[in-house]
Amino acid sequence: MQAYCRDGFLIVTGCFSFAVPLCWVSVCLAGRCSVPLVGSPVPGTLLVLSDWPCVHRALGLYVKGNMADPWQECMDYAVTLAKKAGEIIRGALKEEKSIMIKSSPVDLVTETDQKVENFIISLIREKYPSHSFIGEESVAAGGGSILTDSPTWIIDPIDGTTNFVHRFPFVAVSIGFVVNKKIEFGIVYSCVEDKMYTARRGKGAFCNGQKLKVSGQEDITKSLLVTELGSNRDPETIKIVLSNMERLLSIPIHGIRAVGTAAVNMCLVAAGGADAYYEMGIHCWDMAGAGIIITEAGGVLLDASGGPFDLMSRRIIAASSRPIAERIAKALQIIPLKRDDATN
């Protein structure tokens, strides 16, 4: 059996072959026994294994720790990028902003939105060239938003752009990672608050390392809800939005709050600060990062109609319990919307 280095990997050949990052193996072995590779780890240099059992153990640890969760590295990278993006946003908050409009005079975008999205996507594409992307500003510029089974990064560079424009201190970077149309992990970085919300499917939800848990409230009359008025200024849509609020307040409930960002609203539910969030008219990039944070904190996602949650439907109920989610759905009048993945 022989091994050689190439492009930073240890390539092992023999009765079976495989490759492992050389830096990982070297670090792993250094703390356990003598390094089992004879020769200089120069790309293309043939190496001889002098202690195969040690390498076998190291590779076993690598497979167990990394192959068992192939997306953990992606998640770690997303956290790093979200922090760096947050630094860009915090710096831009102090500066004059070039403001443009998209679908309506209140649907805003700034140069910073575009700069942050380009920053995130370019670095991810460099590291993971086979992955797909759906980004808010890319879609606004004419890019597609069709969700396939491929590993897909769904990015909102600044969730809460209107807040950002007015320096209202709730602004977030949202990154969701979807494989086979299932959200694998989500990152929401509320950068003014310096709160990093994270969740990995099956491994829980956290804020700055502290485990999150929803309130568990099941009685709608004791609940505090969060929602948004949205950016649609069509009179009929506004009537439905306000009528839905009136219906919920009349149940009665304790109250309704809005902080101006869908992702942070959902994270507040995940943290137990509110009992449910609902909205119609948002997009997949508003929901992908925080949706899994809700479920990993013990919450429930439903469609606004009461059916199963659909990431591309542009509507959501995120609640601390199913009874509250279903009661909200019962009260809502549905707003007709074009899906994110509609082709025309």
Q: Catalytic site residues? A: 136, 156, 158-159, 161, 286
Q: Which two three-digit tokens encode residue 164? A: 């950002």
Q: How far apart are CA 136 and CA 146, in angstroms?
A: 13
For 40-60, letters b (16+ CB in 10 Å) and e give: ebeeeeebebeeeebbeebbe
Q: Within 10 Å of residue 273's Cβ, how many Cβ atoms?
A: 14
List, in order, residues 6 or more apart from 73 with CB less than 8 Å away.
Answer: 66
Structure tokens at 223: 């609940």
Grouping H, G, I as helix, E, B as strand and the rest as coil, residue 29 is helix
Q: Side chain identity at 223, as an amino acid letter?
A: S
Strands 152-159 and 132-135: parallel
Q: How far apart are CA 303 and CA 149, in angstroms?
A: 21
Asked if residues 289 and 176 have their Cβ atoms less than 8 Å apart, the reply is yes
Question: How many residues does the structure list for the chain?
Answer: 344
CA–CA dist 310, 304 (Å, integer): 10
**C-alpha–C-alpha distance, residues 31 and 133, integer Å:** 39
